[in-house]
Chain A
Amino acid sequence: MADDIIKVEGLTKVFNRNLVAVDHVTFNVKEGEFFGFLGPNGAGKTTTIKMLTTALKPTEGRASVLGYDIIDEANMVRRVVGVVHQEYTADEDLTGYENIMLCADLYGIPRDVAKKRAIELLELVELSAFKDKRVETYSGGMRRRLELACGLINRPKVLFLDEPTLGLDVQTRTATWDYIRRLKKEYGMTIFMTTHYMEEADALCDRIAIIDHGKIVVSGSPSELKDSLGCDIITISIKENADITDLIRSVEHVKEVTNMGNSYWIKVELGEITAPLIIETLRKNGYTVTRLSLTEPTLNEVYMEYTGKSLRDTEESREAFRAYRITLMRARK
């Protein structure tokens, strides 16, 4: 077994004495692992990253990265990790190349080594053609890639990615995932990522922890988590125009039925056995099944199971989120 490269024990951050952002969080990340924190905005993901990267001091608890204590050996931690922040932190007035070299200067990497690395990294994130253009002219996806390149200039053993695709459109997001995978393959670093996109956690992470209200609710690999629900999802449509919710519910192994208008969303145990049973029951009652699909649950179902709410729903209440962010920003300053 690989060693634990990040060790976190009871890590807690309280802002202004009453705003608990992170609440006694304990977890370990193994060397080479792609570990994700999945949770809604304001769950304490960024605060955790800020503590692990020594930008914030924890109120309570301990943590170490590569064996360096985040409080007592903060400077060593900073030297061996890379951080890609949620915001676009590059200087807009400088070129991509100037930005990446500035990072190198801050890490004290000798100029000749830095130049080689910068060129290599810019090549990997496909920004070589734009390296002498001001960042001002970059698109959102390009900025993200530049941030990734900057975060890797010191060849970190651990890379922290805070919401790496925040605000990007779906296409750019999936493209960014490819860049992240490519960089991980090239340098083999351990990655700690936070995200509130389930698809992202599912696509990238070896292991995830679902975090809500500052606490880890459950952790495991995406497939473990989905399996742990012990259920499958059946979606079904019928030819007739009738409400068959109760009829489906009467079938054995069916746990939950939701009428989605022209189809039914059904949560069942043992999907392979239950699907034929449902078809059989419907036929007996004179209904014709036109479509049926059997899928494994997504992380959304996992999230719902453990937190009692949909991650998509929590994303909706933007106002509440904004208010929370402002409170948090003020508290952090």
Chain B
Amino acid sequence: MSSANQYKPSLFRGLWALTLRELKKWLKDPVMLTMFVLQPVIWMGLLGKSMNIIALFSPSNLGNLAIGDISISGSMLSPPVNGIIVIPGALISQQLQQMFEDIGAKVLQNAFGVTDYFSFMAIGMVSMIVVTTAVFSGMSIVWDRRLGFLDKVISTPVPRAAIIFSKVLNATLRAMFQATVILMLAYLFGLKLSPTFRPLNILGFYAAILLLGIGLSSAFLALSIRSTRIERPMQIVNLIMMPLMFASNTFFPTALMPDWLRAIARVNPLTYLTDALRQLTILSLDPSALITDLISLGLFAVVLSVIGILLSWRYLTE
């Protein structure tokens, strides 16, 4: 009927344009960008370096072990000897002090999978920034709505899916970028990669982030799209961030947690993300554990994104 009809709006074009807009906005604000990266770096630096768990096992921490002489009957030895054998306590004490560092390393190795807490913590921080970025990015829709930008986009023929996916894609791309920055900084600060690390692992690293990013950002988009003010989603994020982080393996291995906490950690997607990221970087890779992690993250992504996208969709088209 008219020449205006000749151009068809396309999902991918719209999606890319809207995502690019978000990324441009983000890159044009270097202060915010730095602040966002700074936070996990501070956590990593302070907590990772201050909680120098291996230093607990420094020989000087044993002090002067007053171990008395030990006498044993010669018949207990093999081959048995006559009489009584006396082992001087000082010798035992000296021996223990020499072994203490090895014991510490063993304990850490068993509990954390690595001998330095910093590496453990640093990957935890990568997870943290992925979660915060995924959650906060979707909130920009509250502003889009208040400032009328969303109204404008809705009045164009761009497929509604492009509007929703652009938010999710933007959140996920940002999360990937920031995770890369944190990982590189951590490496500079002394993160030890495991001998099983291969460059190809980075692909898995991004895949895990992608899955969690999609799931979390869709869920938070559905939440934010209905909020008329930014405070509401902010409050919710503040409320859940801490428990989400601590009830997971981000700071501490779940194996050492009480049962109830471990039960929460088991359904916490952050646990799977962090474990997957550690498997791929600092731990000696356990393929079956990694597969479990990725499947769990995949399930999580599917469930949350379906719910989130449907809810957002309904809002945009009602």
Contacts and interface: CB of A to CB of B under 8 A. Distances in A.
Q: Which of B153, B154, B228 has the most CB of A within 10 A?
A: B154
A27 interface: no
A57 B317 CA distance: 9
Contacts of B106: none
A66 B7 CA distance: 17
Nearest to B16: A105
Interface in A101-115: 102-103, 105-110, 113
A155 interface: yes
Interface residues of B, number: 33
A102 B144 CA distance: 14
A87 B228 contact: no
Given A66-B1, A89-B152, A155-B3, A106 B17 contact: yes
Given A78-B157, A106-B156, A154 B25 contact: no
A329 interface: yes
Interface string B212-246: 00000000000000101000000000000000000
Main secondary structure of the interface of A (DSSP, over half): loop
Contacts of A324: none
Contact of B157 (A75, A93, A150): A75
B21 A80 contact: no
A150 B228 CA distance: 26
Interface string B149-183: 10111111110000000000000000000000000
B21 A110 contact: no
Contact of B4 (A53, A85, A88, A157): A157
Interface in B35-81: none
A93 B5 CA distance: 31
Contacts of B157: 75, 78-79, 106-108
A39 interface: no
B259 interface: no
B9 A87 contact: no
A98 B24 contact: yes
B9 A85 contact: no
A58 interface: no
Contacts of B318: 57
A147 to B, nearest CB: 9
Contacts of B10: 108
Contacts of B24: 93-94, 98
Given A79-B5, A107-B9, A102 B147 contact: no
B153 A106 contact: yes
Interface residues of A, number: 40
B149 A55 contact: no
A80 B226 contact: no
A333 interface: yes
Interface string B120-156: 0000000000000000000000000001110111111
Q: Which of A88, A89, A330 has the most CB of B within 10 A?
A: A89
A79 B153 CA distance: 12
B9 A333 contact: no
B155 A107 contact: no
Contact of A102 (B17, B154, B228): B17
Contacts of B154: 55
Interface in A272-303: none
A87 B151 CA distance: 9
Contact of B158 (A91, A93, A98, A106): A106
Contacts of B28: 93
A333 B150 CA distance: 12
B149 A91 contact: yes
Contacts of A105: 13-14, 16-17
A53 B155 contact: yes
Interface string B300-318: 0000000000000000001
A76 B25 CA distance: 31
Nearest to A105: B17
B151 A85 contact: yes
B25 A89 contact: no
A150 B157 CA distance: 14
23 contacts: A57-B318, A78-B155, A79-B5, A79-B157, A83-B152, A85-B151, A85-B155, A86-B148, A87-B147, A88-B147, A89-B149, A90-B149, A93-B25, A93-B28, A94-B21, A102-B17, A106-B17, A106-B18, A106-B153, A106-B157, A106-B158, A108-B9, A154-B156
Interface of A: 53-55, 57, 66-67, 75-76, 78-80, 83, 85-94, 98, 102-103, 105-110, 113, 150, 154-157, 329-330, 333
Given A87-B148, A89-B148, A94-B25, 11 more contacts: A79-B5, A79-B7, A87-B147, A88-B147, A102-B18, A105-B14, A106-B18, A107-B158, A108-B158, A155-B4, A157-B4
Interface of B: 1-5, 7-10, 13-14, 16-18, 21, 24-25, 28-29, 147-149, 151-158, 226, 228, 318
